[in-house]
Structure 1
Amino acid sequence: MEEVKLTTDVKNKKKTNWSVLLGAAFLMATSSIGPGFLTQTTVFTQQLGASFGFVILVSLLLDVFAQLNIWRIIVVTGLRGQEIANKVLPGLGVFLAILIVIGGLAFNIGNVAGAGLGLNAMLSIDPIVGAVISAVFAIFIFLFKEAGKVMDKAAQVAGGVMIFLMFYVAISTVPPVGEAVVRTFVPSEINILSIVTLVGGTVGGYITFAGGHRLLDAGIKGVKALPDVTKSSVSGIAITGVMRVALFLAALGVVSQGLQIDPANPPASVFNLALGEIGYRIFGVIMWAAAITSVVGAAYTSVSFIKTFHPLLEKYQNWIIIGFIILSTITFALIGKPVKILILVGALNGLILPLALGTLLIAANKKSIVGSYKHPIWLTIPGILVVVIMGVLGIMTLFEQIPLMFK
């Protein structure tokens, strides 16, 4: 009888672990699939056509190595990103936390706006009213005692709905799949800026740490957890990739028919051209799901960067997350999206990935931080490559954007 109970407990634990791993994967993926994701993918597909498949492939490879490195090091040490950074260089964790929180807050204003626009397209609700309704929905999640589990389920449901609807629209546009497959490996045009933009959008800023921090909060840590961490991080990138490919094919189908995408709202235009009024309503559902999960992910991960600085911050973290969402919503409702601030923060966001990944790679080689753990060379070398590429291009982007602030 005791043996049966033991077997049942093991099964329940495995089920719980898989639920958490899948939740972390969807949290990372849905955090990266925001309003900007929809616009970037549509615009670059319009510019590059089938060759955008190559950009998706390269960006996903860079994403995988960035996430595998960061998630592994976080889970092995049992420390959050800012704690590891402070151990590498005192004060660096505080600096990183400030960058993450400022970036998360600025982008959450855009996420709240996107949620408002989603409800506007779906139900013809005023965007500001829609933003407030969406914020209330996000806040409701963090009123639960087991907010983490509710957040996991919400991310999984929203992600599933987005993937289903996106593929439905993609099939409806009858894209040239054969050409897309060929150009994914033999592109007729290569655009470096689009690769940097996609990498920054899917693993930049707070997104890099969303899944890893969620695993720690669920008690998953230590070397023994590494196989699970690998599964979860790769799953997150795969989910993002599936969404990116579905939207790419939908937009490619429209472009290949010679139809003109409206530059004022490229993703909405794709859905409208594909399925008419119904397509526009479907766009509203996808936009809202993408935005609301990004609101939740940005707030949760940003606060996870400051909660370790004082016991009271950890004790009241859910209320701080709620305050974060309220502040984002009030800012949007009163002054709209501060475009120039978003531009500058976007450029700074591009520097967070190389700074964070570089710091964690240094930590991975310090016995005082990781103990006897040996970080694999096959992850270290690609990780360094991602740091160098994103660091150089991030600095170039920042210097391009700063003059725009003063025009």
Structure 2
Amino acid sequence: MTNTTTQEPKHPKANWSILLGAAFLMATSAIGPGFMTQTAKFTNDLQANFAFVILVSIIMSYIAQMNVWRVIAVSGLRGQDVANKLLPGLGYFIAFLVALGGFAFNIGNVGGAGLGLNVIFGIDTKLGAVIAAVLGIIIFTFKSAGKAMDKLTQILGATMILLIGYVCITTAPPMGEVAVRSVSPTDMGKTVPAILTLLGGTVGGYIIFSGGHRLIDAGITGEENLPEVTRSATLGIVVALVVRILLFLAVLGVIATGVALDPKNIAASAFHIASGEVGYKIFGIVYTAAALTSIVGCAFTSVSFLRTLFGVVNKNTNLFTIGFIVISTIVYIFVGQPQKLLVLVGALNGLILPITLAVMLIASRNSKIVGPYKHPPVLFYLGWVVTIVSAYIGVTTMVKNLSSFL
């Protein structure tokens, strides 16, 4: 099978459907099984103080995303190509890290989909993983795979928001306390590590590039399209924020009643307590939707980092994307989720955001890449703040995880 996705003429008038699809692709790439587990665990640990963590991390995520998407849009180049223009060979290094990290985490996405389908239908988790993989593969068999991906992420993204919103309403979380703790946490020492973790979970690794690379495929580039690109990037962050907040409030509402949650699966336990068997099924649907959209987003973006570096990948993009999903599923079925591999790749993945963000910030001042475009100074300097902070957590996480790996 050859790549059948046709790229539109360069600099077309921005199509809102594509912009919406890019936004949801970024958001749903972030909202995977790990996103849900992470949010539920931090809510259980920090309770109302987690509101402050969400607020600060989303501001940092937005700064990072705006810097990256603007440079991609103005230059018309994917992340790896920008890196290679700055330093020959750097793009290959980044592409390798992104693809390797994406592959490892896609094993977790496939496993999460299997778990979600097990909750809904009671089927074996491995069979559920295969079903989810097949659904993901079908997307990339369409002639217009990009449009199919746009629709899938929009529909499942909206479904997650509605279902989690329903459970959130039934739990009646303490909104007054949440409002206060969002700006005045009681334990700053515990919130700082969580802020850094959420930053990586929202825009780390391949996630920050997913929507931007989708816009390049659609030909929506150039400075004249920056206002639309900005709206799309903003919407992507907003969707991820809304899901994070709703899930946080749903779990917090249960915790506020004094009921102890099952530490093995905090999110499922909260949904079950909040809405009984219906709530448990809703958890399964949301978890499956989160996993499926992440499978698609992860595969698309990981392979997109290889397209311009290897001609065979560019000519057979859909085939390589399908192969990415198939191999991830095979590894999950026969090996499971290889914890040591995930630990090692997670350590390396922690360094991707500061490296790629730094590359984009340097590129934003390079006329050979962005032409006469003038990058906003405030965005530029705030971007370096996020780079330094994310580099710190990346290095410390790598040292910690490598120690446990060895």
Aligned equivalents of 1:181, 1:340: Cα separation in 2: 40
Deviations 1:236-263 (A, max 9, x none): 0000000000000001001101111111
Residue 393 of structure 1, CA deviation: 1.5
Aligned equivalents of 2:306, 2:13: Cα separation in 1: 31
> Equivalent residue of 2:205, what SS?
coil
Residue 313 of structure 1, CA deviation: 1.5
Which of 23, 33, 41 aligns to 1:35? It is 33
Residue 130 of structure 1, CA deviation: 0.2
> 1:259 corresponds to which residue?
259
| Distance verdict in 2 for CA 1:18–1:323, change over 3 Å | same
> 2:18 corresponds to which residue?
20
Aligned equivalents of 1:274, 1:235: Cα separation in 2: 29
| Distance verdict in 2 for CA 1:267–1:74, change over 3 Å | same
Aligned equivalents of 1:287, 1:368: Cα separation in 2: 44
> 2:159 corresponds to which residue?
161
1:148-297 paired onto structure 2 within 5 Å? 148-190=146-188, 191-297=191-297
| Distance verdict in 2 for CA 1:224–1:177, change over 3 Å | same
Aligned equivalents of 1:46, 1:266: Cα separation in 2: 8
Aligned equivalents of 1:360, 1:195: Cα separation in 2: 22
> 1:57 corresponds to which residue?
55
Deviations 1:200-223 (A, max 9, x none): 011000001001000000010000
> 1:129 corresponds to which residue?
127
Q: Any stretches of 5+ residues in structure 2 without a counterpart?
A: 1-10
Residue 347 of structure 1, CA deviation: 2.1
Residue 392 of structure 1, CA deviation: 1.2
Residue 367 of structure 1, CA deviation: 1.2
Deviations 1:26-62 (A, max 9, x none): 0000000000111111111111111100000000000
Residue 310 of structure 1, CA deviation: 3.0
Q: Any stretches of 5+ residues in structure 1 without a counterpart?
A: 1-12
> 1:109 corresponds to which residue?
107
Residue 95 of structure 1, CA deviation: 0.1
1:268-347 paired onto structure 2 within 5 Å? 268-347=268-347
> 1:3 corresponds to which residue?
none
Deviations 1:58-79 (A, max 9, x none): 0000010000000000010000
Percentage of matched positions with identical amino acids: 55
> 1:68 corresponds to which residue?
66
Answer whether contact 2:354 2:388 (CA < 8 A) is retained: yes
Between 1:273-282 and 1:155-164, the stretch displaced more is 273-282
> 1:10 corresponds to which residue?
none
- Letter of the 2:92 counterpart: V
Per the normalisation by structure 2, the TM-score is 0.96
Q: Which runs of 4+ in 1 moved over 3 A?
A: 13-16
Residue 120 of structure 1, CA deviation: 0.3
| Distance verdict in 2 for CA 1:292–1:371, change over 3 Å | same
- Letter of the 1:243 counterpart: V
Deviations 1:299-349 (A, max 9, x none): 000000001123331121000000000000000000100112112212221
Aligned residue pairs, count = 394
Give the superposed CA RMSD. 1.2
Residue 14 of structure 1, CA deviation: 9.7
- Letter of the 1:269 counterpart: S
Deviations 1:366-406 (A, max 9, x none): 11111111111011011000000000111011101111113
- Letter of the 1:151 counterpart: M
> 1:141 corresponds to which residue?
139
- Letter of the 2:180 counterpart: V
> 2:45 corresponds to which residue?
47
- Letter of the 1:77 counterpart: S
- Letter of the 2:111 counterpart: A
> Equivalent residue of 1:47, what SS?
helix
| Distance verdict in 2 for CA 1:76–1:186, change over 3 Å | same
> 1:7 corresponds to which residue?
none
Aligned equivalents of 2:14, 2:147: Cα separation in 1: 10
